[in-house]
Amino acid sequence: MSITQTDLTRINTFIFDVDGVLTDGLLYCFADGEQVRAFNIKDGFAIKHAIQQGYRVAIITGKNEPGVRKRLEQLSIEDIFMGVEEKVETYENYVYMQGIHPATVAYMGDDMPDFEVMQRCGLRACPADAADDIKEISTFISTRKGGRGAVRELIEKIMKAQDTW
């Protein structure tokens, strides 16, 4: 599939997975049980900029780590759904409760837990190193890997198409 100008100009909401999208998918485990991930500062800048320009940004992720939540809150993300087992149910409830038309949503995921949600949004995006099944249904495949600027690339591309970057 290919991305069109219409796909880019109608987007007003970004929804992201965390592991493999906002991070590189690596999980560092310490002896005390703490699990640490690395976030890309350029992705963070793009998220904050999008929010400042009036875009809605949400997170739907299967993990529930306090450090991840803290980072997301530092980026001014208000709609954070963590520990989600059924992402599609959370997604559908979110768009319904917020009055968001699914065609205006860009969702970036990287693996099978994102598959169903991606089939219900306007722009299906993934990092360069996403699972093959996710790449097959994506309308936008970043040139960058998860946690390495894929989120920045997507946000910048959409905002530039709308003259909001």
Residue with tokens 């768009």: 95
Question: Is residue 136 helix, strand or coil?
Answer: helix
Amino acid code (one letter) for 88 = V
Known binder of ligand: residue 133?
no
Known binder of ligand: residue 19?
yes
Known binder of ligand: residue 111?
no
Cβ neighbours for 80, distance < 8 A, ≥ 6 positions apart:
58, 59, 69, 72, 73
Question: Is residue 111 helix, strand or coil?
Answer: coil
Handedness of CA 134, 18, 153, 89 (dihedral sign): positive
Question: Is residue 13 helix, strand or coil?
Answer: strand
Q: Which residues are annotated as a binding site?
A: 17, 19, 110
Q: Which residues are annotated as a binding site for Mg(2+)?
A: 17, 110
Q: Which residues are annotated as a binding site for substrate?
A: 19
